[in-house]
Chains A and B, each alone.
Chain A
Amino acid sequence: MNLHEYQGKELFARFGLPVLPGQVATAADEARDIAASIGGTVVIKAQVQVGGRGKAGGVKLAHSPDEAFEKARDILALTIKGQPVRTVLVTQAADIARELYLSIVLDRSRKLPLIMLSAEGGVDIEEVARVAPGKILRRSIPLSGLRPYQARALFQPLLRDGRQVAQAAEILLKLHRVFTEGDCSLAEINPLAITPEGRVLALDAKVILDDNAEFRHREWATWRDPDEETPGQRLAREKGLSYVRLEGDIGCIVNGAGLAMATMDLIKHYGGEPANFLDIGGSSNPEKVTAALRIITGDSRSAPAGGVPGPSSRVRAILFNIFGGITRCDDVANGIVQSLRTSPLAVPLVIRLTGTNEDLARKILSDHGLSATTSMDEGVRTVIAKAQEVAA
């Protein structure tokens, strides 16, 4: 789960990191009230999880509560890289003398947390990494943890002032606690700002949480942003399906993540465009099959009133690709038959299944006027042809 900046700052504050006071608003007059209570100059920041929001006009200074109202109104009307701005963070403004970059990420191959530090803060760090990788300092945090002297040593070459070094080192130690105790896969401060008076502050927060650790963090449920999910994504999460929407017109329902990716690739290979990634997992109960079909055809019955329209009215044909190992093909066939009985499909369906109880599955399907292929290549080619017929 990716956190919004304001949520990341909440997490930072809990671990004692220096963040400036602020609150979120979903309407311009709320922003005015918050600005008035903070006093002085404030920054209004769009809470969207895309990079480059500053350049897109999503971050503005306001010198008075009335100006905060205007700026918040403008920002709340924006859509940044396809994401409508629904929330803004109104926070105290800071004078900035210098900006650094500081983050902790998981180093998958060394199996240790990795500190990334750069004197070039406030900019797109991926760009720095690409253009001038030498400007990013990388240090693994050993299993035994991070010692204060090690944290100080990292900052000494960058910040000569001893008091600034001490503050920055303290921030790094706390950020490490956020990373480990908070079960993060990324904890980033960009910029880590130095004020003209020499205070060191976390002016932004980007946090990615390890979804697998949700069972020991009750508070995470309150951070989930329902507005960030389409009805399809929500249904997928509730039913325990992995679903990613893509832009093509061929829906695919597959058991297993690797096979699902390979199926998308094969659709592309034979000249089609996949509409989604969808893994129905090892289980093959009819309910999951029905949910999967509903997600792909964009049936938004489970969506709240006024919800985003279903994701995929563009889908022209659907492929089931099932390799029955532990999953039994006859279970999936039953699921398909039951699902079609309750909600018939408006688009052609191509079924590929092979493996455990394949013959039984074929019989169930043929009793209901359906057929299935055994070859993945053939299934993919057929579904592409069907989609083209529909398009024509």
Chain B
Amino acid sequence: MSILVDKSTRLAVQGITGRDGSFHTEQMLAYGTRVVAGVTPGKGGEKVHGVPVFDSVAEAVAVTRANTSVIYVPAPFATDAVFEAADAGIGVIVCITEGVPVRDTLAACHHVAALRERAAANGAPNPGRPRLIGPNCPGLISPGLSKVGILPGHICKSGPVGVVSRSGTLTYEVVHQLTRAGLGQSTCLGIGGDPVIGTHFIDALAMFEADPQTEAMVLIGEIGGSDEEDAAQFIRKHLRKPVVAFIAGQTAPPGQRMGHAGAIISGGSGTAAEKMAAFEAAGVPVARIPSEISALIGEVLERRRVRLKRVSSQPSTKRLTRGTPPAGARKRATKPRGRAVRTRAAKPAPRGAAAGTRARARRSR
């Protein structure tokens, strides 16, 4: 399993005849993604790397049953592309385009959310659709299944770690290190570096929590906004799978935009220090540097496996269930975690135990 994209993904590429759209279509096809359609208004009937091009998303959906779209359309037209995809019934819309005005993204986010609520109210079979990812994001990849966007496929391998990030190349760096440490990924998802985005950390975390393949998560945040703080709260309240966090921009000066439109410390808030403190307060190990992430994931995975074994060998305690459990079940489930941590903390600390891990152990006492 994985989240959002897999073997059932039937992809339409919006802006397929452009330089980026064409290049990445080739890359996605090479990875094994089922690219079923391209869309460029006025270029219907053409083919790009063997993929048929349509004049509209609605046409592409009618002919090819596309259920996912990726957008490589220039910024002034990208929002229209999002609206078009949502209105055509596309379930997952991934907007790669950088430089979209915030006002346009606001409108797109609200439109997609309204369609999603309406679909849910009408009892849609697949809740949580349509969903917008991005803009200004690298897309996502479920290793070995499907790649949608611009992430390099060769650095990923299939496994138990869900990765969610506001960044592009920093995600590649972390995924590369995970893969080299033998820690494969369920899905690697870039949610985008803009101040307003369609899918937030908490949405991704909830999906990973419900995904059977995912056993642990890496969250890569950065300065600006309060998505990381929201995520920390969410993890404390709703997650039982472990999360490891990293925040970029610990040395960023206030008031300066650090490349991403959303990466700015404004009015003294949105600092890396605040975000790291929020995670530590929620018991989430925080890596100080990217190369600590793999070791921390290794530790939390090990502890989770020990805990699950322990829990399953105790008939009196209900075994952890997948997905979001009812409140009562959650309460019971948190007990063994505390015990497991205490047991571990009583032993000598393993080499290289990071500060974040210790913070988690402290909180549990």
**Chain A, 331-359, CB within 8 A of any chain B CB:** 354-356
Contact yes or no, A355 B103, CB < 8 A: no
Contact yes or no, B195 A257, CB < 8 A: no
Residues on the B chain within 8 Å of A274, using CB: 251
Rounded to whole Å, the gap between the CB of B355 and the closest CB of chain A is 12
Q: Report if A168 contacts B (CB, 8 A).
A: no
Contact yes or no, A106 B251, CB < 8 A: no
Question: Known interface pairs A210-B103, A268-B250, A376-B291. Does A262 touch B260 (Cβ–Cβ under 8 Å)?
Answer: no
CA distance A259 to B289 in the complex (A): 11
Chain A, Cβ-Cβ closest to B193: A257
Chain B, Cβ-Cβ closest to A267: B251
Counting residue pairs across A and B whose Cβ atoms lie within 8 Å, the total is 163
Q: Report if A70 contacts B (CB, 8 A).
A: no
CA distance A4 to B172 in the complex (A): 39
Which of B152, B173, B291 has a CB less than 8 Å from the CB of A326? Answer: B152
Contact yes or no, A259 B262, CB < 8 A: no
Chain B, Cβ-Cβ closest to A112: B106
CA distance A390 to B75 in the complex (A): 45
Chain B positions 48 through 76: 1 when the CB is less than 8 Å from some CB of chain A, otherwise 0: 00000000000000000000000000011
Chain A positions 27 through 64: 1 when the CB is less than 8 Å from some CB of chain B, otherwise 0: 00000000000000000000000000000000000000
Number of interface residues of B (CB under 8 A): 58
**Highest count of chain B CB atoms <10 Å: which of A211, A258, A326, A376:** A258
Q: Is the interface of B mostly helix, strand, loop or mixed?
A: loop
**Highest count of chain B CB atoms <10 Å: which of A108, A210, A211, A255:** A108
Residues on the A chain within 8 Å of B253, using CB: 244, 246
Which of B223, B230, B267 has a CB less than 8 Å from the CB of A109? Answer: B230
Which of A242, A261, A279 has a CB less than 8 Å from the CB of B252? Answer: A261
Contact yes or no, B106 A111, CB < 8 A: yes
Contact yes or no, B169 A258, CB < 8 A: yes
Contact yes or no, B290 A212, CB < 8 A: no
Contact yes or no, B196 A260, CB < 8 A: no
Of B116-124, B160-168, B237-245, B346-354, the stretch lying at the interface with chain A is B160-168
Residues on the A chain within 8 Å of B290, using CB: 262, 266, 376
Q: Report if B225 contacts A (CB, 8 A).
A: yes
- Identify the 4 closest CB pairs spanning chains A and B, nearest first: A258-B167, A257-B259, A256-B169, A258-B170
Q: Can you name 5 extra interface pairs (CB under 8 A) apart from A212-B75, A279-B259?
A: A111-B110, A261-B259, A265-B251, A266-B289, A355-B176
- Give A contacts to B, CB under 8 Å: 106, 108-109, 111-112, 126, 129-130, 143, 180, 183, 185, 210-213, 215-216, 242, 244, 246, 254-262, 264-269, 274, 277, 279, 282, 323-327, 354-356, 376-377
- Give B contacts to A, CB under 8 Å: 75-76, 99-103, 106, 109-110, 138, 150-152, 155, 165-173, 176, 193, 195-196, 200, 220, 222-223, 225-227, 230, 246, 248-253, 256-263, 267-268, 272, 288-291
